[in-house]
Amino acid sequence: MATCETNYLVAVGVPIATFLLGFFASRFSLSKKERLDHSQRLFQNERELSDRNEAAYKEFKDALASYLSSPSPGLDDFVNISTTGDNYFRKLREIGESMLSSNIREQSSRENFAPKLQEAIEKTLPNYYSTLQEIAKKKGFPYSGQLKRKNYEPIYSAVEKFA
């Protein structure tokens, strides 16, 4: 009787256990196609982030160039620099958030995006605020904007992790 129950358990239990093991193993690992699809998604994310960042940077750079070439910069220049700068730094925050959430490849984070974010922290952000303060002071209107880390936390955190 015991051998009959043992044979039955082996005959039924082994296929069930094998099925369950295979099922869970396939759910916790990726097939080659799934890995390639994931890699392609990460690459596509990088391209989109880079393209949007470049467009925002060009607008910001053009606004600064307009300010520098203007014989008498005024409120319009201030607003233009402010809005294009905010847009550019928003794109940089998106890049930082994508880096931190692993929505782009780590190698790309380290080699391509981290240097851009580090330059923004060290040069671009301080110059942005000092330029806005300079324009406001020259034209006599109030501006109390200050560079605060909390406003750009994803940029700082991404640089600390990847640079």
User: For the segment 95-111, what is each residue's pLDDT rounded down to a tens digit?
Assistant: 999 999 999 999 999 99
Residue 11 parent element (H or E)? helix 2-27
User: For the segment 15-66, what is each residue's pLDDT rounded down to a tens digit?
Assistant: 777 777 776 666 666 677 877 888 889 989 999 999 999 999 999 999 999 9
Q: What is the pLDDT of residue 126?
A: 96
Please give the DSSP secondary-structure letter assigned to residue 101: T
Which residues lie below 8 Å from residue 49, measured CB to CB, with a gap of 6+? 91, 94, 95, 98, 104, 113
Which residues lie below 8 Å from residue 47, measured CB to CB, with a gap of 6+? none
Q: What is the pLDDT of residue 37?
A: 83
Structural domain boundaries of the chain? 1-30, 31-162
102: left (phi over 0), alpha (psi -120 to 50) or beta: left
Q: Which two tokens stand for residue 137?
A: 């002071």
Q: Mean per-residue pLDDT for 8-21?
A: 72
pTM of the model: 0.78
